[in-house]
Amino acid sequence: MTDYLSTGALPEEYAQLAKTVRDFTRSVVAPVAAEHDRNHTFPYEVVSGMAELGLFGLPFPEEYGGQGGDYFALCLALEELAKADQSVAITLEAGVSLGAMPIYRFGNEAQKQEWLPQLTSGKSLAAFGLTEPGAGSDAGGTRTTALADGTDWVINGSKQFITNSGTDITKLVTVTAVTGVKDGGKKEISTILVPTSTPGFTAEPAYDKVGWHASDTHPLSFDDVRVPQENLLGERGRGYANFLRILDEGRIAIAALSVGAAQGCVDESVRYAKEREAFGRPIGANQAIAFKIARMEARAHTARTAYYDAAALMLSGKPFKKQASIAKLAASEAAMDNARDATQIFGGYGFMNEYAVARHYRDSKILEIGEGTTEVQLMLIAREAGL
Protein backbone atom coordinates (compact mmCIF):
# COMPACT_ATOMS: atom_id res chain seq x y z
CA MET A 1 0.00 0.00 0.00
CA THR A 2 2.81 2.43 0.77
CA ASP A 3 3.95 2.08 -2.84
CA TYR A 4 0.88 4.02 -3.95
CA LEU A 5 2.17 7.26 -2.47
CA SER A 6 5.14 7.22 -4.84
CA THR A 7 3.90 5.30 -7.89
CA GLY A 8 0.22 6.25 -8.07
CA ALA A 9 -0.92 2.62 -8.52
CA LEU A 10 -2.53 0.40 -5.90
CA PRO A 11 -1.05 -3.08 -5.44
CA GLU A 12 -3.11 -5.73 -7.20
CA GLU A 13 -4.87 -7.13 -4.12
CA TYR A 14 -6.08 -3.69 -3.07
CA ALA A 15 -7.06 -2.73 -6.62
CA GLN A 16 -9.08 -5.93 -7.00
CA LEU A 17 -10.85 -5.35 -3.68
CA ALA A 18 -11.74 -1.79 -4.67
CA LYS A 19 -13.12 -3.02 -8.01
CA THR A 20 -15.17 -5.73 -6.34
CA VAL A 21 -16.75 -3.28 -3.91
CA ARG A 22 -17.23 -0.72 -6.71
CA ASP A 23 -19.15 -3.26 -8.77
CA PHE A 24 -21.22 -4.27 -5.73
CA THR A 25 -21.98 -0.62 -5.00
CA ARG A 26 -23.19 0.04 -8.53
CA SER A 27 -25.27 -3.13 -8.84
CA VAL A 28 -26.65 -3.57 -5.30
CA VAL A 29 -26.23 -0.40 -3.21
CA ALA A 30 -27.01 2.43 -5.61
CA PRO A 31 -30.32 1.08 -7.01
CA VAL A 32 -31.98 0.98 -3.56
CA ALA A 33 -30.26 3.93 -1.87
CA ALA A 34 -32.99 6.49 -2.60
CA GLU A 35 -35.76 4.15 -1.45
CA HIS A 36 -34.12 3.37 1.89
CA ASP A 37 -33.31 7.04 2.37
CA ARG A 38 -36.91 8.05 1.64
CA ASN A 39 -38.42 5.38 3.90
CA HIS A 40 -35.78 5.63 6.67
CA THR A 41 -35.31 1.85 6.52
CA PHE A 42 -32.23 -0.16 7.45
CA PRO A 43 -30.88 -1.92 4.31
CA TYR A 44 -30.74 -5.49 5.61
CA GLU A 45 -30.41 -6.96 2.10
CA VAL A 46 -27.44 -4.72 1.35
CA VAL A 47 -25.79 -5.54 4.68
CA SER A 48 -26.30 -9.24 3.93
CA GLY A 49 -24.55 -8.75 0.60
CA MET A 50 -21.64 -6.98 2.28
CA ALA A 51 -21.42 -9.86 4.74
CA GLU A 52 -21.24 -12.36 1.87
CA LEU A 53 -18.37 -10.37 0.37
CA GLY A 54 -16.55 -10.60 3.70
CA LEU A 55 -16.39 -6.84 4.21
CA PHE A 56 -17.10 -6.97 7.95
CA GLY A 57 -14.10 -9.24 8.41
CA LEU A 58 -11.62 -7.36 6.24
CA PRO A 59 -9.09 -6.22 8.87
CA PHE A 60 -9.28 -9.26 11.17
CA PRO A 61 -7.26 -12.51 11.27
CA GLU A 62 -8.74 -15.66 9.78
CA GLU A 63 -8.67 -17.36 13.19
CA TYR A 64 -11.55 -15.08 14.22
CA GLY A 65 -13.46 -15.49 10.98
CA GLY A 66 -11.84 -12.50 9.29
CA GLN A 67 -10.35 -12.07 5.85
CA GLY A 68 -6.77 -11.61 7.03
CA GLY A 69 -6.54 -8.15 5.50
CA ASP A 70 -5.76 -4.81 7.10
CA TYR A 71 -7.29 -1.47 7.99
CA PHE A 72 -6.46 0.07 4.62
CA ALA A 73 -8.53 -2.62 2.91
CA LEU A 74 -11.47 -1.55 5.06
CA CYS A 75 -10.87 2.08 4.06
CA LEU A 76 -10.93 1.25 0.36
CA ALA A 77 -14.26 -0.54 0.80
CA LEU A 78 -15.69 2.42 2.70
CA GLU A 79 -14.62 4.86 0.01
CA GLU A 80 -16.35 2.86 -2.72
CA LEU A 81 -19.58 2.36 -0.76
CA ALA A 82 -19.82 6.02 0.25
CA LYS A 83 -19.78 7.17 -3.37
CA ALA A 84 -23.38 5.94 -3.60
CA ASP A 85 -24.70 5.69 -0.03
CA GLN A 86 -23.11 7.06 3.12
CA SER A 87 -25.65 5.23 5.31
CA VAL A 88 -24.40 1.88 4.05
CA ALA A 89 -20.77 2.96 4.44
CA ILE A 90 -21.22 4.12 8.03
CA THR A 91 -22.98 0.86 8.88
CA LEU A 92 -19.81 -0.98 7.84
CA GLU A 93 -17.46 1.56 9.43
CA ALA A 94 -19.22 1.52 12.79
CA GLY A 95 -19.71 -2.25 12.72
CA VAL A 96 -15.99 -2.82 12.24
CA SER A 97 -14.21 0.17 13.78
CA LEU A 98 -16.50 0.79 16.75
CA GLY A 99 -18.17 -2.59 17.11
CA ALA A 100 -15.65 -5.37 16.53
CA MET A 101 -12.31 -3.56 16.73
CA PRO A 102 -12.40 -2.76 20.49
CA ILE A 103 -12.90 -6.45 21.20
CA TYR A 104 -10.03 -7.38 18.91
CA ARG A 105 -7.72 -4.72 20.35
CA PHE A 106 -8.51 -5.06 24.05
CA GLY A 107 -10.52 -8.22 24.64
CA ASN A 108 -9.22 -11.38 26.25
CA GLU A 109 -9.13 -14.60 24.27
CA ALA A 110 -12.47 -15.83 25.59
CA GLN A 111 -14.18 -12.59 24.57
CA LYS A 112 -12.59 -12.70 21.13
CA GLN A 113 -13.64 -16.31 20.56
CA GLU A 114 -17.20 -15.60 21.68
CA TRP A 115 -17.88 -12.39 19.79
CA LEU A 116 -15.52 -11.86 16.86
CA PRO A 117 -16.70 -14.74 14.63
CA GLN A 118 -20.25 -13.39 14.86
CA LEU A 119 -19.19 -9.83 14.09
CA THR A 120 -16.65 -10.53 11.36
CA SER A 121 -19.23 -12.63 9.53
CA GLY A 122 -21.56 -9.64 9.34
CA LYS A 123 -24.42 -11.77 10.64
CA SER A 124 -24.36 -9.78 13.89
CA LEU A 125 -23.54 -6.15 14.64
CA ALA A 126 -22.02 -4.50 17.68
CA ALA A 127 -22.13 -0.86 18.74
CA PHE A 128 -20.06 1.36 21.02
CA GLY A 129 -21.85 3.43 23.65
CA LEU A 130 -19.65 6.43 24.47
CA THR A 131 -21.59 9.65 23.94
CA GLU A 132 -24.06 10.85 26.57
CA PRO A 133 -26.27 13.95 26.82
CA GLY A 134 -23.50 15.66 28.80
CA ALA A 135 -20.42 13.77 27.68
CA GLY A 136 -18.66 13.12 24.38
CA SER A 137 -15.23 14.62 23.94
CA ASP A 138 -15.42 15.45 27.66
CA ALA A 139 -14.92 12.11 29.40
CA GLY A 140 -15.33 13.80 32.77
CA GLY A 141 -19.00 14.32 31.95
CA THR A 142 -19.70 10.57 31.87
CA ARG A 143 -22.58 9.75 34.23
CA THR A 144 -23.39 6.17 33.31
CA THR A 145 -22.21 3.99 36.19
CA ALA A 146 -21.24 0.36 36.55
CA LEU A 147 -21.05 -0.74 40.17
CA ALA A 148 -19.63 -4.06 41.30
CA ASP A 149 -22.21 -6.26 43.03
CA GLY A 150 -20.92 -9.71 43.87
CA THR A 151 -19.84 -11.30 40.60
CA ASP A 152 -21.70 -8.78 38.44
CA TRP A 153 -21.61 -5.22 37.18
CA VAL A 154 -24.85 -3.29 37.61
CA ILE A 155 -25.12 -0.57 34.97
CA ASN A 156 -27.36 2.50 35.10
CA GLY A 157 -27.42 5.49 32.79
CA SER A 158 -27.97 6.50 29.18
CA LYS A 159 -26.16 6.99 25.90
CA GLN A 160 -27.06 8.91 22.76
CA PHE A 161 -26.30 8.97 19.03
CA ILE A 162 -25.24 5.30 19.02
CA THR A 163 -24.88 3.79 15.53
CA ASN A 164 -25.98 0.19 14.80
CA SER A 165 -27.52 -0.06 18.28
CA GLY A 166 -31.09 -1.06 17.50
CA THR A 167 -31.14 -3.29 14.41
CA ASP A 168 -32.58 -6.79 14.37
CA ILE A 169 -29.02 -8.15 14.13
CA THR A 170 -27.43 -5.98 16.86
CA LYS A 171 -26.19 -8.39 19.52
CA LEU A 172 -23.79 -6.34 21.61
CA VAL A 173 -23.05 -2.83 22.85
CA THR A 174 -19.74 -1.92 24.46
CA VAL A 175 -20.41 0.73 27.10
CA THR A 176 -18.14 3.24 28.80
CA ALA A 177 -19.13 3.67 32.44
CA VAL A 178 -17.81 5.08 35.69
CA THR A 179 -16.59 2.13 37.76
CA GLY A 180 -14.99 4.09 40.60
CA VAL A 181 -12.87 7.11 41.52
CA LYS A 182 -9.13 7.40 40.94
CA ASP A 183 -6.61 9.05 43.23
CA GLY A 184 -7.17 12.77 42.96
CA GLY A 185 -10.91 12.41 42.52
CA LYS A 186 -11.04 11.76 38.77
CA LYS A 187 -13.59 9.32 37.49
CA GLU A 188 -12.42 5.79 36.74
CA ILE A 189 -13.93 4.93 33.36
CA SER A 190 -14.03 1.36 32.11
CA THR A 191 -15.61 -0.41 29.14
CA ILE A 192 -18.06 -3.25 29.61
CA LEU A 193 -19.66 -5.63 27.11
CA VAL A 194 -23.46 -5.61 27.29
CA PRO A 195 -25.40 -8.14 25.17
CA THR A 196 -28.54 -6.45 23.85
CA SER A 197 -30.70 -9.26 25.23
CA THR A 198 -29.77 -8.31 28.80
CA PRO A 199 -32.79 -7.26 30.92
CA GLY A 200 -32.87 -3.53 31.58
CA PHE A 201 -31.14 -2.61 28.31
CA THR A 202 -33.35 -0.59 25.96
CA ALA A 203 -32.73 0.88 22.55
CA GLU A 204 -35.08 3.84 22.59
CA PRO A 205 -36.96 4.98 19.43
CA ALA A 206 -34.66 5.91 16.56
CA TYR A 207 -33.73 9.52 15.89
CA ASP A 208 -35.30 11.59 13.11
CA LYS A 209 -32.06 12.75 11.51
CA VAL A 210 -31.17 15.29 8.84
CA GLY A 211 -29.26 12.65 6.90
CA TRP A 212 -27.95 9.08 7.06
CA HIS A 213 -31.59 8.01 6.98
CA ALA A 214 -30.78 4.35 6.30
CA SER A 215 -28.26 4.19 9.15
CA ASP A 216 -29.53 2.87 12.49
CA THR A 217 -29.05 5.37 15.35
CA HIS A 218 -30.66 5.28 18.80
CA PRO A 219 -30.42 6.63 22.32
CA LEU A 220 -29.85 3.83 24.82
CA SER A 221 -30.95 3.42 28.42
CA PHE A 222 -29.60 1.12 31.13
CA ASP A 223 -31.82 0.34 34.09
CA ASP A 224 -30.07 -1.97 36.57
CA VAL A 225 -28.49 -3.87 33.68
CA ARG A 226 -26.63 -6.77 35.25
CA VAL A 227 -23.74 -8.49 33.43
CA PRO A 228 -20.90 -10.70 34.72
CA GLN A 229 -17.70 -8.97 35.85
CA GLU A 230 -15.80 -10.93 33.21
CA ASN A 231 -17.57 -8.70 30.67
CA LEU A 232 -15.05 -5.98 31.53
CA LEU A 233 -13.25 -5.18 28.27
CA GLY A 234 -9.56 -4.49 28.77
CA GLU A 235 -8.03 -3.14 31.95
CA ARG A 236 -10.29 -1.54 34.52
CA GLY A 237 -9.98 2.25 34.44
CA ARG A 238 -8.53 2.28 30.91
CA GLY A 239 -11.83 2.44 29.08
CA TYR A 240 -11.64 5.98 27.80
CA ALA A 241 -7.93 5.82 27.04
CA ASN A 242 -8.47 2.67 25.00
CA PHE A 243 -11.33 4.24 23.13
CA LEU A 244 -9.13 7.19 22.17
CA ARG A 245 -6.94 4.65 20.34
CA ILE A 246 -10.03 3.35 18.56
CA LEU A 247 -10.99 6.92 17.62
CA ASP A 248 -7.57 7.60 16.12
CA GLU A 249 -7.99 4.60 13.82
CA GLY A 250 -11.62 5.42 13.18
CA ARG A 251 -10.73 8.89 11.93
CA ILE A 252 -8.83 7.33 9.05
CA ALA A 253 -11.88 5.23 8.23
CA ILE A 254 -14.20 8.25 8.42
CA ALA A 255 -11.76 10.13 6.18
CA ALA A 256 -12.00 7.31 3.63
CA LEU A 257 -15.80 7.41 3.81
CA SER A 258 -15.69 11.20 3.37
CA VAL A 259 -13.44 10.87 0.33
CA GLY A 260 -15.97 8.47 -1.17
CA ALA A 261 -18.71 11.04 -0.65
CA ALA A 262 -16.56 13.79 -2.14
CA GLN A 263 -15.66 11.64 -5.17
CA GLY A 264 -19.25 10.57 -5.61
CA CYS A 265 -20.21 14.22 -5.95
CA VAL A 266 -17.48 14.70 -8.57
CA ASP A 267 -18.60 11.68 -10.57
CA GLU A 268 -22.25 12.71 -10.52
CA SER A 269 -21.37 16.28 -11.49
CA VAL A 270 -19.19 15.23 -14.42
CA ARG A 271 -21.94 13.00 -15.76
CA TYR A 272 -24.59 15.69 -15.36
CA ALA A 273 -22.40 18.43 -16.85
CA LYS A 274 -21.97 16.35 -20.01
CA GLU A 275 -25.68 15.54 -20.33
CA ARG A 276 -27.44 18.74 -19.28
CA GLU A 277 -27.68 21.34 -22.00
CA ALA A 278 -28.38 25.04 -21.66
CA PHE A 279 -28.24 27.68 -24.40
CA GLY A 280 -27.50 25.01 -26.97
CA ARG A 281 -24.53 23.23 -25.42
CA PRO A 282 -23.62 21.01 -22.41
CA ILE A 283 -23.19 23.05 -19.25
CA GLY A 284 -19.76 21.44 -18.76
CA ALA A 285 -18.53 23.49 -21.71
CA ASN A 286 -18.83 26.58 -19.54
CA GLN A 287 -15.69 27.42 -17.58
CA ALA A 288 -17.73 28.33 -14.50
CA ILE A 289 -18.97 24.73 -14.28
CA ALA A 290 -15.74 23.09 -15.46
CA PHE A 291 -13.62 25.01 -12.95
CA LYS A 292 -16.03 24.21 -10.12
CA ILE A 293 -15.75 20.50 -10.90
CA ALA A 294 -11.96 20.81 -11.18
CA ARG A 295 -11.83 22.20 -7.64
CA MET A 296 -14.05 19.37 -6.45
CA GLU A 297 -11.70 16.81 -8.00
CA ALA A 298 -8.70 18.52 -6.39
CA ARG A 299 -10.36 18.37 -2.96
CA ALA A 300 -11.14 14.67 -3.32
CA HIS A 301 -7.62 13.84 -4.50
CA THR A 302 -5.95 15.83 -1.72
CA ALA A 303 -8.12 14.23 0.95
CA ARG A 304 -7.50 10.75 -0.48
CA THR A 305 -3.74 11.30 -0.33
CA ALA A 306 -4.09 12.40 3.31
CA TYR A 307 -5.93 9.27 4.41
CA TYR A 308 -3.59 7.01 2.41
CA ASP A 309 -0.67 8.63 4.23
CA ALA A 310 -2.26 8.21 7.67
CA ALA A 311 -3.10 4.58 6.93
CA ALA A 312 0.46 3.88 5.76
CA LEU A 313 1.86 5.26 9.03
CA MET A 314 -0.63 3.27 11.09
CA LEU A 315 0.13 -0.02 9.33
CA SER A 316 3.87 0.53 9.66
CA GLY A 317 3.54 0.99 13.42
CA LYS A 318 4.55 4.65 13.38
CA PRO A 319 2.76 7.50 15.20
CA PHE A 320 -0.25 8.59 13.16
CA LYS A 321 -2.49 10.64 15.47
CA LYS A 322 -1.76 13.97 13.77
CA GLN A 323 -2.05 12.56 10.26
CA ALA A 324 -5.36 10.86 11.13
CA SER A 325 -6.76 14.18 12.34
CA ILE A 326 -5.48 15.97 9.24
CA ALA A 327 -7.10 13.34 7.02
CA LYS A 328 -10.39 13.50 8.87
CA LEU A 329 -10.40 17.30 8.79
CA ALA A 330 -9.51 17.57 5.10
CA ALA A 331 -11.82 14.80 3.94
CA SER A 332 -14.90 15.81 5.90
CA GLU A 333 -14.60 19.39 4.66
CA ALA A 334 -14.05 18.13 1.10
CA ALA A 335 -17.23 16.06 1.33
CA MET A 336 -19.29 19.00 2.58
CA ASP A 337 -17.80 21.47 0.09
CA ASN A 338 -18.23 19.08 -2.83
CA ALA A 339 -21.81 18.30 -1.85
CA ARG A 340 -22.64 22.00 -1.83
CA ASP A 341 -20.98 22.59 -5.21
CA ALA A 342 -22.58 19.51 -6.75
CA THR A 343 -26.01 20.65 -5.61
CA GLN A 344 -25.37 24.03 -7.24
CA ILE A 345 -24.32 22.38 -10.49
CA PHE A 346 -27.50 20.28 -10.54
CA GLY A 347 -29.62 23.35 -9.90
CA GLY A 348 -33.24 22.52 -9.07
CA TYR A 349 -32.58 18.81 -9.52
CA GLY A 350 -29.95 19.02 -6.79
CA PHE A 351 -32.73 19.90 -4.37
CA MET A 352 -34.66 16.70 -5.13
CA ASN A 353 -34.01 13.89 -2.68
CA GLU A 354 -33.97 11.15 -5.30
CA TYR A 355 -30.70 12.52 -6.64
CA ALA A 356 -27.50 11.29 -5.02
CA VAL A 357 -26.08 14.80 -4.69
CA ALA A 358 -29.05 15.86 -2.57
CA ARG A 359 -28.48 12.93 -0.23
CA HIS A 360 -24.79 13.77 -0.03
CA TYR A 361 -25.71 17.36 0.82
CA ARG A 362 -27.77 16.18 3.79
CA ASP A 363 -25.49 13.32 4.75
CA SER A 364 -22.13 15.06 4.64
CA LYS A 365 -22.62 17.54 7.47
CA ILE A 366 -22.33 14.82 10.11
CA LEU A 367 -18.87 13.97 8.78
CA GLU A 368 -17.66 17.26 10.28
CA ILE A 369 -19.17 16.25 13.64
CA GLY A 370 -19.01 12.49 14.24
CA GLU A 371 -15.92 10.72 15.64
CA GLY A 372 -14.44 14.08 16.62
CA THR A 373 -15.69 17.46 15.42
CA THR A 374 -13.71 19.75 13.16
CA GLU A 375 -12.80 21.76 16.24
CA VAL A 376 -11.46 18.65 18.00
CA GLN A 377 -9.32 17.82 14.95
CA LEU A 378 -7.89 21.34 14.93
CA MET A 379 -7.13 21.07 18.64
CA LEU A 380 -5.35 17.73 18.17
CA ILE A 381 -3.34 18.97 15.19
CA ALA A 382 -2.28 22.09 17.06
CA ARG A 383 -1.33 20.01 20.08
CA GLU A 384 0.76 17.64 17.99
CA ALA A 385 2.45 20.70 16.49
CA GLY A 386 3.57 21.68 19.98
CA LEU A 387 1.02 24.38 20.76
Q: Which domains does the chain have, with CATH numbers?
A: 4-125 (1.10.540.10), 126-237 (2.40.110.10), 241-384 (1.20.140.10)
Residues 6 or more apart in contact with residue 369 via CB below 8 angstroms: none
Residue whose C-alpha is closest to residue 260's, from 304, 296, 302, 295: 304
83, burial (CB in 10 Å: exposed 0-12, middle 13-18, buried 19+): buried
Reported residue count of the chain is 387
- What backbone phi and psi angles, to 5 degrees, belong to 173? -130, 125
Are the C-beta atoms of 179 and 233 separated by less than 8 Å?
A: no
* C-alpha pair distances (Å), 349 with each of 217, 231, 272, 355: 28, 51, 10, 7
Which helix (H) or strand (E) segment holds residue 300: the answer is helix 287-315
pLDDT, tens digit only, all 387 positions of the chain: 445 544 557 899 999 999 999 999 999 999 999 999 999 999 999 999 999 999 999 999 999 999 999 999 999 999 999 999 999 999 999 999 999 999 999 999 999 999 999 999 999 999 999 999 887 777 678 999 999 999 999 999 999 999 999 999 999 999 999 999 988 888 999 999 999 999 999 999 999 999 999 999 999 999 999 999 999 999 999 998 888 889 999 999 999 999 999 999 999 999 999 999 999 999 999 999 999 999 999 999 999 999 999 999 999 999 999 999 999 999 999 999 999 999 999 999 999 998 999 999 999 999 999 989 999 999 999 999 999
CA 152 to chain centre: 32
The DSSP H or E segment spanning 330 is helix 321-346
| Distance between CA atoms of residues 156 and 84, nearest Å | 39
Give burial (CB, 10 Å; 0-12/13-18/19+) of 63.
exposed
**Do β-strands 281-282 and 277-278 pair in parallel, antiparallel, or remain unpaired?**
antiparallel
Q: Which residues are catalytic?
A: 371
Handedness of CA 285, 286, 292, 295 (dihedral sign): positive
